[in-house]
Amino acid sequence: MKIVYLIFYCLIFFPLILSGTTLNPDTVGLSKLKIRKNEVEIKQKQSLFFDFFTGIYQNKTFGMHPVLGVALGLKVNKTSAFYLATEFRFGKSKNKYDVVVDDSLITTNHFLGEYLGLEYDRLLFSKKHHELTTFAAVGYDWIRLPVVNDRTQRNGGIAFNIGLGYLFKFKKGAGPQIKFLYHYANIDNESGTQPNKNSLSIRVSYVLGYKK
């Protein structure tokens, strides 16, 4: 049987050697195997995660407010993740401000802020249970105004976030996380008090479904 195998290989490869043909990985299908292996590795690195967070929001116009939010994300590789986040802020405003609702200028301390954004995380450092990230985001920020004559109105504008995050990882990377944010929001309050555009926030959360 060994002689049969030897004759078979000689019939296949000996003419190629005589003709000067150079063997390459495609001849034996090695490159295709490598491509498939890389595709499998990339898919294995990708994972969905869910993040419920709370925290505080500080703005010079509106004051300090509690925050509740959720984020649904996709970890695309070992260093990068994209996610969609929404945030709610509530409580009375520190300062009264003027707004136009239903063509009437009113002064109020009513406050209910909301944010929706696409955020990007980039890994800076990772070791065992510790992970340090930086992130940036772009989205839309708005405030709900008091109801006047059964009419609900929102004033909003473009928003940006930048900051740093720290994650303490347990099994499969899930664990508590804290983020420190600088938040910029250009809320349009035409004919009323212009809110301060700069805010600081802290988010505290427990990340679920996050894999290494």
Q: pLDDT per residue over 63-78, tens digit each?
A: 999 999 999 989 888 8
Q: Which residues of 82-91 are buried (b: 16+ CB within 10 A; e: fewer)?
A: ebebebebeb
The CATH class of the 45-208 domain is mainly beta
Residue 92: partners with Cβ closer than 8 Å, 6 or more residues away: 109, 110, 111
CA–CA gap between residue 135 and residue 127 (Å, rounded):
19
Residue 103 buriedness (CB in 10 A; 0-12 / 13-18 / 19+): exposed
Is 0.85 surpassed by the pTM of this model?
no
Average pLDDT, stretch 94-102?
90
CA–CA gap between residue 197 and residue 187 (Å, rounded):
7
Count of Cβ atoms closer than 10 Å to residue 105 Cβ: 10
CA–CA gap between residue 162 and residue 133 (Å, rounded):
11
**Residue 58, φ and ψ in degrees, nearest 5:** -125, 125
Residue 51: band (very low, low, confident or very high) from pLDDT cuts 50, 70, 90:
confident
Give the residue with greater pLDDT, 132 vs 20.
132
